[in-house]
Structure 1
Amino acid sequence: MTTKFFLIFVSLLAVSSSAAAQFSTVSDRTLLEYYQAQKYVEAATYLKSVYKEPVSDPNALRNLAYTTQMAGKLVEAEAYYQRLFQLDTTKLSVLNSIAGINLRRGNLQKAQTYYLHIISVDSTNFYVLKQMADISSRNNDTTGYVKYLSKANAVNGDDADVASDLSNWYVNVKKYALAQAVLNTAITADPENVVLLQSLLKLVHAQSNWAETVKVGMKLLQLGDGTYPTALKLGQAYYKLKNYMCCLETLAGMEDIQQTETSFYYMALSYKALKNYPKSIVYFERAITEGISPAIPTYYGEMAGSYQEHKRFKKAVYSYEKGLQFEERPLLLYSLATLYDSDLKDKAKAVRYYKRYLGTNPPAVQQVYVDYTKSRISALASRL
């Protein structure tokens, strides 16, 4: 049994014992077995069988509230906590539990109301300040987000999560000195915290401090952080320092699924700087391909169809041809062929695009189009 679990269980046993005068005795052994097996639903059912309504003893209510909360019965748990709060409105721990339940249920406004009540009494409650920052973020309330993060950081400057979030925000708005001050305190307390070092990497990279970016990036790699943001920033720093081989080694070391337009671009630039022009061209092409949405031909095809329906045939031709520049899709060729055939009455171009359509070996689901294309080629060829 973990220390945390043991302490929770001991406190609950104390609750059970103190409530025994009013209710049937709770079997500590039975309750322990349920908790150890994490059978909170069964534990809640058991406690309800012992604590008969109406329950007014605060210890019994607290026991029921905690157990139903752990069982995921959040509505019941909140009801028990509300009854506890009515018995003693000074219990901030009860308010905190009610707020937490509402946060789990996505009721941000209710959770915020309870947390604000706690802050009005205990303005330096670190946990509640963190929760208020989270709620503000989820409500897209930037002012509140920064306000509560700053207050939480002032209460506990060593907390890595708060320091990281606050410094990242400062970097985003280019308040680099404030970001550095926040990170200095937290990193002094925990020099090998990956979350903090990632934020530091973001800061020095934003400042174009390339030597420091390499230093922090290498430390992150040594700590096992090979994520895309870290590798990319490190690779970019090597390129800016004209250490092209290290840039290539860093970026090429990423998994294929991590590669992006930007990583390919810096690899291309590095090969170009090393005068390896063939490889430079290959990676520039990969950067271009990665940067283009595979859906662009579809967009052009749909736009061309709209132009065609609107009788703006030149615009339709242009849009089909633009789509084909990105990818020679069978249906784009077929649509362009039918446009020349039916609307523009240009037999030669219709035959040309019908033939190009057949040359793509269209899938079996397009057999109707294939048959029609062959019949039109035969009919049009006889008139040319």
Structure 2
Amino acid sequence: MKRWLASLVIMLCCNAVFSQTANLVDKEKLFDFYQTQRYADAANYLRTVYGEDITDARTLSQIGYCYLMSGNNVDAEKFYLKAYSVQPHSLPILFSLASINSRRGNIDKAKLYYGEIVKIDSNNFSVYKSLANLFASNKDSLKLVYLVKANKLNPLEGDVANDLADVYAGLQEREKAYKVLNVAIAADTGNIILKKALLPIANFLKKYNEVIASGEKILSVDNDAYVIKDVAKAYYFTKNYTKAISLFKLLEVMGLQNEATLYYT
């Protein structure tokens, strides 16, 4: 009983000391640093207030965040590692450490931290999206695995849908790519990037009228060469050769024709 009371007293004293230190922070001054994006100054200011022997994970993370936002990845990692030693199961800390290592090209370390997150929260959409982004090649089977998991958790998120469709298209699984993109487009009908990605896939699946309708709307606001090519091909396959030629000629004027477009022309 005495030992328990002694521990309680020590804990309360430590909390009191921390509270007193926290009260020394000039919140207005700190807010001004944040608002003017002087994150390095904010980090240095916090260090002068709290000193060097910081053991509170929240404070360590706050200083680490300031260094991260200032572009100082070395000091950011140092403070996040200290925070990690105090709270090894904190998702924000793990995400920050993974992000820092990813930025610095330490991909294996980043994967380890993201792996720790998966162990804690296996249904975290962001971690699967981040893991997929660590694989540069669409041919890497793990990239597909992580994109599928992320898309299953949030099929409406455009970036993941676009990346997954791209991988599916490369694997000649265009029906899957078409479905993934359509689900995301239905949730964000103004997403031109997703609509552009759908055009060549829809063309391959012989959905030519869909390509023409969607492509013409895109061309009314964005004279994209790839969209011109996709719409021109759709007109060609529906035997509207006059429209097809006019669009292929546009590519010629833009100096973007190639062997395939010249063949169709």
Fold match (TM-score > 0.5):
yes
Q: Deviations over 1:58-115 (max 9, x none)?
A: 2321221111111111111111111111112221211111001111111111101100
Secondary structure of 2:134's counterpart equals: helix
Aligned equivalent of 2:11: none
Aligned equivalents of 1:256 and 1:42: distance in 2?
A: 53
Q: Which structure has the larger Rg? A: 1
Q: Tell me if structure 1 keeps the 8 A contact 2:128–2:146.
A: yes
How do residues 59-78 of structure 1 correspond to structure 2 at under 5 angstroms?
A: 59-78=58-77
Q: Tell me if structure 1 keeps the 8 A contact 2:43–2:63.
A: yes
User: How far off its partner does 1:20 sit?
Assistant: 4.7
Specify whether residues 177 and 32 from structure 1 end up closer, same or farther in structure 2 by C-alpha distance, changes over 3 A only: same
Q: Give the one of 219, 222, 228 matched to 2:225.
A: 228
Secondary structure of 2:156's counterpart equals: coil
Q: Tell me if structure 1 keeps the 8 A contact 2:129–2:147.
A: yes
Aligned equivalent of 2:244: 247
Aligned equivalent of 1:216: 214
Aligned equivalent of 1:142: 140
Aligned equivalents of 1:117 and 1:255: distance in 2?
A: 53
User: How far off its partner does 1:41 sit?
Assistant: 1.7
Point out where structure 2 has 5 or more consecutive residues left out of the alignment: 1-16
Q: Tell me if structure 1 keeps the 8 A contact 2:155–2:183.
A: yes
Aligned equivalent of 2:38: 39
Q: Deviations over 1:212-260 (max 9, x none)?
A: 22122113223x2322211111112222222222123223335845523
Q: Tell me if structure 2 keeps the 8 A contact 1:200–1:216.
A: no
Aligned equivalents of 2:137 and 2:227: distance in 1?
A: 29
Aligned equivalent of 1:3: none
User: How far off its partner does 1:170 sit?
Assistant: 1.7
Matched pairs, number: 250
Aligned equivalents of 2:112 and 2:24: distance in 1?
A: 37
How do residues 344-383 of structure 1 correspond to structure 2 at under 5 angstroms?
A: none
User: How far off its partner does 1:19 sit?
Assistant: 4.5
User: How far off its partner does 1:263 sit?
Assistant: 7.0
Specify whether residues 167 and 65 from structure 1 end up closer, same or farther in structure 2 by C-alpha distance, changes over 3 A only: same
How do residues 191-202 of structure 1 correspond to structure 2 at under 5 angstroms?
A: 191-202=189-200
TM-score (norm 2): 0.86
Secondary structure of 2:37's counterpart equals: coil
Q: Tell me if structure 2 keeps the 8 A contact 1:23–1:52.
A: no
Point out where structure 1 has 5 or more consecutive residues left out of the alignment: 1-17, 271-384
What is the identity percentage for the equivalent residue pairs of Structure 1 and Structure 2? 33
User: How far off its partner does 1:139 sit?
Assistant: 5.9
Q: Tell me if structure 1 keeps the 8 A contact 2:178–2:202.
A: no
Q: Tell me if structure 2 keeps the 8 A contact 1:19–1:60.
A: no
Matched, 1:88 2:87: yes
Matched, 1:179 2:177: yes
Residue 61 of structure 2 aligns to which amino acid in structure 1?
R
Aligned equivalents of 2:111 and 2:238: distance in 1?
A: 48
Specify whether residues 250 and 64 from structure 1 end up closer, same or farther in structure 2 by C-alpha distance, changes over 3 A only: same
Q: Tell me if structure 2 keeps the 8 A contact 1:95–1:118.
A: yes
How do residues 268-287 of structure 1 correspond to structure 2 at under 5 angstroms?
A: 269-270=264-265
Q: Tell me if structure 2 keeps the 8 A contact 1:161–1:195.
A: no
Greater RCO, CA 8 A, separation 6+: 2
Aligned equivalents of 1:183 and 1:23: distance in 2?
A: 49
Secondary structure of 2:21's counterpart equals: coil
Aligned equivalents of 2:254 and 2:200: distance in 1?
A: 22
User: How far off its partner does 1:198 sit?
Assistant: 1.6
Residue 86 of structure 2 aligns to which amino acid in structure 1?
L
Q: Give the one of 153, 156, 166 matched to 2:154.
A: 156
Secondary structure of 1:55's counterpart equals: coil
User: How far off its partner does 1:23 sit?
Assistant: 5.9
Aligned equivalents of 1:251 and 1:263: distance in 2?
A: 10
User: How far off its partner does 1:140 sit?
Assistant: 6.2
Specify whether residues 49 and 24 from structure 1 end up closer, same or farther in structure 2 by C-alpha distance, changes over 3 A only: farther
User: How far off its partner does 1:149 sit?
Assistant: 0.4
Aligned equivalents of 2:19 and 2:186: distance in 1?
A: 50
Specify whether residues 227 and 153 from structure 1 end up closer, same or farther in structure 2 by C-alpha distance, changes over 3 A only: same
Aligned equivalent of 1:204: 202
